[in-house]
Chain A
């Protein structure tokens, strides 16, 4: 090897250059990688998500004909912005989802999230037309939350519900596809859930 002494496999200069570069690389990685992990951490944890059952009212508050608007907390540590409106009605037999096991009872209440499946604006329920309508880009949903028109890519998200001691509780949010099959990790708005689409919009550890 040119520049090397007898029996050497690396030149002294090469060793010093490599050593200096390696030391610089290690020093940069020593602060860079923890900082990067620090910034990316929230992708992997769901501490902020409220996954407790929340009491939203007495069973007598709700009926099968129309939705009643209630407020639930989605994110725990942010105050007002962490709250959301939930539209709740009593479930009818035709609300059975393909995800419900045959012969087992279905969820007692239908709780629809107001987060539009297009880009996340808050929808409102209009009783006269029995539609959910989004103010931002004109998304329209039917009474069961399935898409009637506009840009949304899937039905409105829902919440798990249960009734105990005459009170109604809502739990975690879940997403549904156009057949109202349940997906345990709620997806972001704009994520399709039908056919092959469901695989390019994976469920995330943060939900």
Chain B
């Protein structure tokens, strides 16, 4: 059994006999193969040509170190791979085949994911300065904007990135819809995607309150009352969102917890499932290629 086929295989010290279980003919040693080979050669050099000038030896040693250094990444990757067996999966995921006709529209999913990642990273750092209370929220945002180094930039990225993420997610959804990529066997991925759209909108809604200025306050009042307009459970849903019958001290901490813990956690988990299914099922060819194929088939039949 060879655990490391293909490009991830260690180049030196792998003479085809090593089977990954330690049952090889080589002497057992903790020193990685590359270093072992180098040392043997080095010893030969020292024994055989004793008395050579030091300069040449130094050059040899340098070369040996260089060789060992170039092997480090492969050694590290190999070490991880031997213990996780990730290699085949990682290769399958990174170098999977895509259908003919794949174009720029197919990057919208990755773009949405990177928008989420940027929101996650900037959000984590904003949380270091933000204080989610009715008294302090507004002043802490002012503090981030005006006093914290690069605060305006980071908050700007989070604030505008939110809009970018919503736009990208909808474009991605449109791509999937118009390319017919939601059809069998990808229905479950479509459903996960729809949940992700809803969660993204929930992020936008809960994040809107956090600056706690007049605009966000009244926008949230309106948004919660829209929830209250649902029959029977609407008023209770509004109570849940506000943490009471009126917009109170609980509301902002509640929105903050939803915004930075619950919803992002769900989004991250669902993105994982979404990606897994994409890797598992592959992507679809654009519809115009399918149409061509159909025409060709029709011709053949005639």
Contact = CB atoms under 8 A, between A and B. Distances in A.
A binds B: yes
Given A191-B228, A201-B234, A42 B217 contact: no
Contacts, number: 96
Contact of B240 (A42, A45, A189, A201): A42
Interface string B75-99: 0000000000000000000000000
A7 B228 CA distance: 58
Given A48-B249, A48-B250, A82-B246, A204 B235 contact: yes
B54 interface: no
A43 B239 CA distance: 5
A57 interface: no
Interface stretch (A11-19, A24-32, A72-80): A72-80
Contact of A121 (B135, B222, B224, B234): B222
Contacts of A206: 239, 244-245
A188 B244 contact: no
A204 B248 contact: no
Given A188-B228, A204-B236, A42 B242 contact: yes
Q: Interface of chain A, helix or strand or loop or mixed? A: loop
B134 interface: yes
B244 A39 contact: no
A77 B248 CA distance: 7
Contacts of B38: none
Interface in A92-150: 118-122, 136
Contacts of B228: 188-191
Given A121-B218, A190-B225, A49 B244 contact: yes
A75 B251 CA distance: 12
Interface in B203-258: 217-218, 221-222, 224-226, 228-229, 231-232, 234-236, 238-240, 242-250
A1 interface: no
Contact of A79 (B135, B221, B239, B242): B135
Given A43-B239, A81-B134, A206-B239, A191 B247 contact: no
B231 A188 contact: no
A33 interface: no
Most B CB contacts (10 A, CB to CB) among A43, A79, A188 go to: A188
Contact of A188 (B135, B217, B238): B238
A92 B221 CA distance: 33
B134 A79 contact: yes
A202 interface: yes
Q: Which of B135, B232, B244, B249 has the most CB of A within 10 A?
A: B244
A122 to B, nearest CB: 8
Interface string A35-57: 00001101101111100000000
Given A39-B240, A119-B226, A206-B239, A48 B246 contact: yes
A191 B244 contact: no
Contacts of B225: 118-120, 188-190
A43 B236 contact: yes
Nearest to A50: B246
Contacts of A39: 240
Contacts of A202: 232, 235
Contact of A46 (B218, B234, B245): B245
Contact of B232 (A47, A74, A78, A200): A200
Interface in B242-289: 242-250
Contacts of A77: 248-249
22 contacts: A42-B242, A48-B245, A48-B250, A74-B246, A75-B248, A78-B134, A79-B135, A82-B248, A118-B225, A119-B226, A120-B222, A188-B229, A188-B235, A188-B238, A189-B228, A190-B225, A190-B226, A191-B228, A191-B235, A201-B232, A201-B235, A206-B245
